[in-house]
A and B are shown apart, each in its own frame.
Chain A
Amino acid sequence: MNTILEHLTQNLFLKSLIIGIFSSITLSLLGIFVVLKRAIFITLAIAELAVLGLVAGIIISFNAYLSMILVTFLGLCLFSFYKKDKNFSEDSLVGIVYAVSFSLSVLLLSKTNFFETYILDVLSGNILIVKNWDLIFSIFIFLVSIVFFILFNRQLFFMYSDTHTSYVFGINYKILNFIFFIIVGLNIIFFLRSIGLILSFSYLVIPCSFALISSPNIKQLIYKNLIISVVSTILGLIFSFIIDLPSTPTIVVFLFIFGILFSRVFKS
């Protein structure tokens, strides 16, 4: 096992490919429900909380993963215990969390010597800093997410399309919704250092949005969503290695271009 991991971590392209494929599959599958629930902005706030946790962990020399989990979990609890109020909407809460956590991250980083490098690493990831443990965590969260998707996808489709009826019919919305966002949060946390904030967010939103345009049913939506995310990742990585461009922004551009072409071809 160790030898395999060592071989993988030494081969930069292979390592990028593995992490790229794992993250593209899990995040794009979860993205189906993010788009259905219209919770795109919430996931952005979760990602920002993870960044704040990472930065705080580095500043106080605490384990990066633990601090990211802690801060993200606190944020998720805040969203979950929010009660509807006419004078204070959920959107406002999400917006405030996003803006404040982003500002706090910048403030904390401004007191360090590696402000610019770190901001860039957080936004677009850095495959070079990925260690064996990062790879193991990525495989772990990949497996957890796939099992969760297989077990609960129908329940999630039901509760995010018709919340009240699903509750009356016996689906535990509160718990399942909380677990869903915990899993989204963990995915962002474990893939943040390797693929960065922008690509994590892009996997959640772009493939599903384009797959939706040309899908006449749910099965096709899932397959097309996976095809767009995985193919764009592979093409983007190859292209970025050949031309010597930063990988994650290249993949985002490929997601966009391939998404458009794919949806147009299949729609016609």
Chain B
Amino acid sequence: MKNKILEVKNLFCGYNKKQKVLERLSFSIYEGEFIGLVGPNASGKTTFLKTILGIIKPLKGKIIKNRNLKFGYVPQIFTINETYPFSVYEILSFAFLKNFKLNLEIEDKQKIDDIIEKFNIKDLKFELYRNLSGGLKQKVLILRSLLKQPDILILDEPTNDLDLFNTKMVLEFIKNIKQDKNFAVIFASHNLETVLNYVDRLFLVYNGAIDIIDEVEDIDFLRKKISEVFKVDIKIHKIEDWKFIKV
């Protein structure tokens, strides 16, 4: 039995009471699980994530977190201001900043060097972040979050605007690092097929609510549920462990 690390009870999310985006959400998140948060554009995925992270206050309901629960967060890359020439090392070092901290400690520097070495990005250490490809930018942001040693890693549409090669690279990368550490992942995307092949549970965001699918391996159930939620008839084919969706 996995440990529960976060519980949401009757949560209402939105920017103000007149603009409720999601309503009556209740679910739990367990350690080590990989959750796919899927929904059409502007369905409320980012609002939901921001509420869980505490960036937006819940309109109603409760978010009960384990004591000392730590979040890692990878925002959508277009939200990062790339005006200034930050190096990859500087971007990674932001993980250790606190409100009152003058300089990086020796252990912090060691941790950055270790992660650079372990994930083979030594050549990129002093490269400018803004000059990297979309896939590499995501990789750097994911590594920065890992430096926080999170219990839950939240990724907001990390494969948006990425080509097929980079999308696969990012997802395989997350899958591989998850094998080492036991943190939960919430992966938001509007690409159902991509997410479906990596996650343990699916959260379908649609029409102001979240429908949770616990059994992603049961193809028939999955097909019925997705068709019902998105109101489109779909077919799912499984070829060599990879699920293909046909609308």
Contact = CB atoms under 8 A, between A and B. Distances in A.
Given A161-B86, A216-B128, A217-B85, A169 B95 contact: yes
Interface stretch (A12-20, A151-159, A193-201): A151-159
Interface residues of A, number: 30
Interface of B: 15, 50, 53-55, 71, 73-75, 79-87, 90, 93-95, 97-102, 128, 141, 148
A228 B73 CA distance: 38
Contacts, number: 85
A157 B128 contact: no
Main secondary structure of the interface of B (DSSP, over half): loop
B79 A212 contact: no
Interface in A191-229: 212, 215-218, 221
13 contacts: A35-B83, A154-B94, A161-B80, A163-B79, A164-B79, A165-B94, A165-B141, A168-B71, A172-B99, A212-B83, A218-B84, A218-B86, A218-B87
A84 interface: yes
3 pairs of A and B residues whose beta carbons are closest in the complex: A168-B73, A161-B81, A158-B94
Given A162-B79, A168-B53, A212 B95 contact: no
B90 A218 contact: yes
Given A84-B15, A155-B97, A162-B94, A167 B55 contact: yes
B99 A36 contact: no
A36 B94 contact: no
A150 interface: yes
Given A167-B55, A170-B97, A221-B85, 5 more contacts: A150-B102, A157-B84, A169-B94, A176-B99, A218-B84
Given A171-B97, A217-B87, A218-B86, A160 B53 contact: no
Given A164-B75, A169-B95, A171-B97, A215 B85 contact: yes
Contacts of B85: 215-218, 221
A173 B139 CA distance: 25
A240 interface: no
Contact of B102 (A151, A164, A165, A166): A151
A151 B100 contact: yes
B126 to A, nearest CB: 8
